[in-house]
Chains A and B, each alone.
Chain A
């Protein structure tokens, strides 16, 4: 009797939270999938007709934005790696007693609302904003020059907003490395470059992989940066989904796009994790 009760404990603990996730995460996903094959309009309502052509229409109308999301996501992720790695390396190996201070500084942007710091970039980069305004008055740039409403601005904004998600896992991985290994390699007359390539880099890979997961997925699905910093040819699939749901009320098209996005990203992510053969990637990512 008592053992039975003990066996029930974990289920009882997990029940309320689990139920919550089922009702407000799993079932809504099903509602989304269901809506994606419905037909109708907002006045007559939408009815389930298993109209899978919705997917084809959505793809043919918006594949450009879909592919652009992946492109921007990829570019921003690469930029994040380039910016984050040297920095995480320096903090992990040379940060000394100030490591936590540096990490704290990297997390500073999180204390300002995401929308607000992106708007702040809009002001900094504006055609007559804080940077270009004076430069244009000084005649360095022509009047028509712009940064805002270009792909560069969007990718820059994405990199800015998601950089900490790359720095942290890379830092955690690097920080675990016993520096004596590097010294041992150097004692064996490995050059610094070789020591890095053969010792540090392989040991930091799990962190890097986790960082890629943590940045690529939210970046590819983002629409705030494209909306605030982008222009006509910079919209991403997130903008379209937002538009279909919150402007046009064409729920089926929005649902179809949303489901395709999720399927693509989740499948990509799982096979990526599996290909690397480490559940550790998921473990680190889950943090």
Chain B
């Protein structure tokens, strides 16, 4: 690279005042821009479910079938061999590009929202989103396409009644569940000698510098609230402040190493963190795919119960094919394949029997062992007693989220 020396005559300082004036003029010219805001949903929002459904019918009538799908999902959330998708391609001729691009709900929402606002295709035909704040915002913004109810044959036939018509999406207008699971405590028995039983274990100074917490404000808020014995579902703004204070105590004592997105599983496997907030199935699939020996516990005060849902982003290029794949995952044998691999709660109840049959058929004893484990896992087939302990997220909307985030964002900001 040419490095010039003593290169130029210096340009007079008297220029600078004039420069400033000129830049000022430019600024005035761009004031038009300054008046512009960032548009919200006012124009695109459907006013009622009924309206949305009739709009959907018209939309679906106009769609042509295509032969490819782009599927955006979280890591460790499908059978590693992708047999569920391969069988789909064999049966329908539709190819699938499966991308593990979702690290958490807020960042994925922030990634696709500007694209959809600009009227463009996000490049994904199916995405999997949790039933939290972002889910509601996507619906309110009209960022998602209502599903074609006539194509949900398997869903209405096989999905458990509890999974149809959930409070966060009445009538399954925009979504059907992919899987449910719980947020609890994941730990590595190599470093944590006494199995954790309660939230207090995440606040244990003995693990200082090796405790992982989640950076998603809704996840972490729940843990603060549950530790204080407050039910997130009915919590108030004062409760949030108390929970934030509790979480700050944990942070200021240097107990928390870092606030993680799904990266916690990598840190837990490497031994950087010993005990962490974790999603139940991640622990299982990590052990399965990387040979680690990690453990999962739902604390005695309770954990968080959530549902991840398949949705079709607005402007998706292949909605018809997407509908086929969505319904495909409700075929009991496919749902069973998925559950065997991810150990999350399946929306298809008949899966348990199929897994037991598969276990009986399994050739290798190790496989049989794993399948029997899944078939009896208390994490997949949650007992009524456990259900009672599990809490849902704090119900927040775009409006209340401003206060909510201004309380919890500074906690995870570090």
CB within 8 Å of B: which residues of A?
Answer: 22, 26-27, 30-31, 33-35, 38, 40-48, 57, 61-62, 65, 126-129, 143-144, 146, 148-149, 168, 172, 176, 230-235, 239-240, 243, 245-251, 279-280, 283, 287
Complex Cα distance, B257 from A234, in Å, reads 10
Known contacts: A46-B37, A61-B406. The answer to whether A27 contacts B30 by CB under 8 A is yes
Cross-chain contact B37 with A48 (CB below 8 angstroms)? yes
Which residues 234-258 in B have Cβ within 8 Å of A in the complex? 251, 254, 256-258
Q: B62 contacts the other chain (Cβ, under 8 Å)?
A: no
User: Does B8 contact A248, Cβ atoms closer than 8 Å?
Assistant: no
Most buried by A among B137, B406, B414: B414
Query: What's the Cα separation between A247 and B102 when bound, in Å?
Result: 12
A243-B409 Cα distance, complex, nearest whole Å: 9
30 CB < 8 A contacts A-B? A30-B30, A34-B33, A35-B38, A41-B398, A43-B40, A44-B398, A45-B40, A48-B36, A48-B37, A61-B406, A61-B410, A65-B413, A126-B270, A126-B271, A127-B272, A143-B191, A146-B257, A149-B258, A149-B272, A231-B256, A232-B259, A243-B413, A246-B111, A247-B110, A248-B106, A248-B110, A248-B409, A279-B11, A280-B10, A287-B4
Least CB distance, B338 to chain A, in whole angstroms: 29
Nearest residue, chain A, Cβ from B142: A43
Nearest CB in chain B: distance from A9 CB, A: 19
Whether A42 contacts B113 in the complex (CB less than 8 A), given A65-B413, A248-B106, comes out as yes
Q: How near does chain A come to B353, taking the closest CB pair, in angstroms? A: 41
List residues of chain B with CB within 8 A of the CB of A146.
209-210, 257, 272
B60 lies within 8 A of chain A by Cβ: no
Could you tell me if B414 and A234 are in contact, using CB atoms closer than 8 angstroms? yes
Distance in Å: Cβ of A137 to nearest Cβ of chain B: 12
Contact across chains for A43 and B137 when beta carbons are under 8 A apart: yes
Q: Is the CB of B109 closer than 8 A to any CB of chain A?
A: yes
A45 touches B254 (CB 8 A): no
Partner of A26, one of B4, B26, B256, B413: B26
Complex CA distance for A172 and B271, rounded to whole angstroms: 45
Give the residues in chain B near A143, CB-CB below 8 Å: 191
Q: Which of A27, A44, A235 has the most CB of B within 10 A?
A: A44
Inter-chain CA distance A128–B272, complex, in Å, is 7
Give the distance in Å from the alpha carbon of A205 to the alpha carbon of B401 in the complex. Answer: 52
Contact B271 A128 (CB under 8 A): yes
Tell me the complex Cα distance, A44–B251, Å: 34
A127-B272, A232-B256 given; A283·B10 CB < 8 A? yes
- Is there a chain A Cβ closer than 8 Å to B42's Cβ? yes
Q: Number of residue pairs across A and B with beta carbons under 8 Å? A: 149
Per-residue contact bits, chain B 250-293, to A (CB 8 Å; 1 contact, 0 not): 01001011110000000000111000000000000000000000
Residues of B within 8 A of A57 (CB): 406
- In the complex, the answer to whether B10 meets A279 with C-beta atoms within 8 Å is yes
- Tell me whether A62 and B410 are in contact (CB under 8 A): yes
Nearest chain B CB to A15's CB is how many angstroms away?
15
Min distance, Cβ A283 to any Cβ of chain B, angstroms: 7
- Would A44 and B42 count as touching, CB distance under 8 A? yes
CA A162 to CA B143, docked complex, whole Å: 41
Pick from B27, B41, B270, B413 the residue with the most CB of A within 10 Å: B413
Contacts of B4 in A (CB 8 A): 287
**CB proximity to A under 8 Å, residues B390-414:** 398-399, 401-402, 405-406, 409-410, 413-414
Let me know if A30 and B405 touch, CB within 8 A.
no
* Top-5 shortest CB links A-B: A45-B40, A235-B414, A43-B398, A34-B34, A47-B37
Contact across chains for B257 and A48 when beta carbons are under 8 A apart: no
B359-414 residues at the A interface, CB under 8 angstroms: 398-399, 401-402, 405-406, 409-410, 413-414
Residues of B within 8 A of A240 (CB): 413
Given A30-B30, A144-B210, decide whether A41 and B402 contact each other with a Cβ distance below 8 A: yes
The reply to whether B210 and A41 contact each other, CB–CB distance below 8 Å, is no
A239 CA to B414 CA, complexed, in Å: 9
What chain B residues lie within 8 Å of A247 (beta carbons)? 104, 106-107, 110, 215
> Closest residue of chain B to A127, judged by CB?
B272
| A27 in contact with B33 (CB, 8 Å) | yes
Indicate if B90 sits at the interface (CB-CB under 8 A): no
The contact of B34 among A48, A234, A243, A279, by CB within 8 Å, is A48
Cβ of B335 to closest chain A Cβ, rounded Å: 32
| Chain A residues with CB below 8 A from B251, complex form | 232-233
> Shortest beta-carbon distance, B214 to chain A, in Å?
12
Flag whether B5 is at the interface (Cβ < 8 A). Answer: yes
Tell me, in angstroms, the Cα distance from A238 to B106 when the chains sit together. Answer: 18
Query: CA A27 – CA B32 in complex, angstroms?
Result: 11
B162 interface residue per 8 A CB criterion: no
A62 to B411, CA, bound (A): 10
The CA of A231 and the CA of B209, in the complex, are separated in Å by 9
The contact of B414 among A46, A48, A128, A233, by CB within 8 Å, is: A233
B3 within 8 A of partner (CB):
yes
Complex contact A176–B5 (CB within 8 A): yes
B-side contacts of A30, CB under 8 Å: 27, 30, 33-34
Residues from chain B with Cβ under 8 Å of A61 in the complex: 406, 409-410, 413
CA distance A144 to B8 in the complex (A): 56
> Which residue on A lies nearest to B103, using beta carbons?
A247
Contact A43 B41 (CB under 8 A): yes
Specify the chain B residue showing the minimal Cβ separation from A149.
B257
Q: Are A246 and B3 in contact (CB under 8 A)?
A: no
Chain B nearest CB, measured from A73 CB (Å): 17
Report A-chain residues with C-beta under 8 Å of the C-beta of B140.
43
Roughly how many angstroms separate A143 CA and B36 CA in the complex, as a whole number?
Answer: 55
A-B contact sample (14 more), CB < 8 A, given A42-B137, A146-B209, A247-B110: A31-B33, A34-B33, A35-B38, A41-B402, A45-B42, A47-B37, A61-B410, A128-B272, A144-B210, A231-B256, A231-B258, A235-B414, A248-B409, A287-B4
